[in-house]
Chain A
């Protein structure tokens, strides 16, 4: 069964460093998303991406964050200068259409020290 894959599974970084989280969405999906989940809290929407541009973003997704689809298969989330409060599980998701069900990856646990 096709699945969304994310790498790495766990990333530890120093405060102020840049990190790039990577995702390979399901191959025939056109819409891509990033969500995050701070430990013990709910899953929060960060950004949606379609046709090589951001469709919607939340207030969490400030200038420190950016997304890119550098080739036909990868979808990345970059955090330019990490803060302690960026520590969370980051989930990539994809869907065939904007109103179709979203499939989530297994997540990347980001720890900022």
Chain B
């Protein structure tokens, strides 16, 4: 019940495409859902995060869509660029578990020029 399931494992798009990465969770106590971007040899870096009181959040080219009833959330990257090629992790956290992020398996995104 603590798991966060992420798909797909890998994704290849052309420059300008809109990759979509999906995550699903079971634990309804989760109330914070961040997405992290990780480049090889680096630590995860926070991209964007959402709380369940909104259905969508947009920051620059990155958008999170959140479906509370389906317990799913997704990351959309608009106008993707080769520099977006990285591993993306969704995560979830309960408000009472300070800092205990449960991560998805990760999606390796490749954006071809």
Query: Complex Cα distance A35/B44, Å?
Result: 11
User: B85 on the interface (CB 8 Å rule)?
Assistant: no
Return chain A residues, CB-CB under 8 Å to B43: 4, 91, 93, 104-107
* Cβ distance A6 to chain B, nearest Cβ, rounded Å: 8
Return chain A residues, CB-CB under 8 Å to B45: 104
Q: Are B46 and A102 in contact (CB under 8 A)?
A: yes
- Beta-carbon contacts of A32-64 to B below 8 Å, as 1s and 0s? 010100000111110010100001101000000
Return chain A residues, CB-CB under 8 Å to B36: 43, 104
User: How many interface residues does A have (CB within 8 Å)?
Assistant: 27
Q: Which B residue sits closest to A109, measured CB to CB?
A: B41
* Cβ distance A1 to chain B, nearest Cβ, rounded Å: 11
- Beta-carbon contacts of B93-113 to A below 8 Å, as 1s and 0s? 101011111111110000000
Mostly helix, strand, loop or mixed at chain B's interface? loop
Q: Are B49 and A101 in contact (CB under 8 A)?
A: yes
Return chain B residues, CB-CB under 8 Å to A106: 41-43
Query: Complex Cα distance A55/B99, Å?
Result: 9
Query: Complex Cα distance A56/B99, Å?
Result: 9
Q: Are B49 and A107 in contact (CB under 8 A)?
A: no
Q: Are A101 and B34 in contact (CB under 8 A)?
A: yes
User: A75 on the interface (CB 8 Å rule)?
Assistant: no
Q: Are A42 and B41 in contact (CB under 8 A)?
A: no
Residues facing A in B61-111 (CB within 8 A) are 89, 91, 93, 95, 97-106
Return chain B residues, CB-CB under 8 Å to A43: 36, 44, 89, 91, 101, 103
Q: Which A residue sits closest to B89, measured CB to CB?
A: A43
Return chain B residues, CB-CB under 8 Å to A58: 100
Residues of B participating in the A interface, judged by any CB pair closer than 8 Å = 32, 34, 36, 41-46, 49, 89, 91, 93, 95, 97-106
A-B contact pairs, 16 of them (CB 8 A): A4-B43, A41-B105, A42-B89, A42-B103, A43-B36, A43-B44, A43-B89, A43-B103, A45-B100, A91-B44, A98-B98, A99-B93, A101-B49, A106-B41, A106-B42, A106-B43
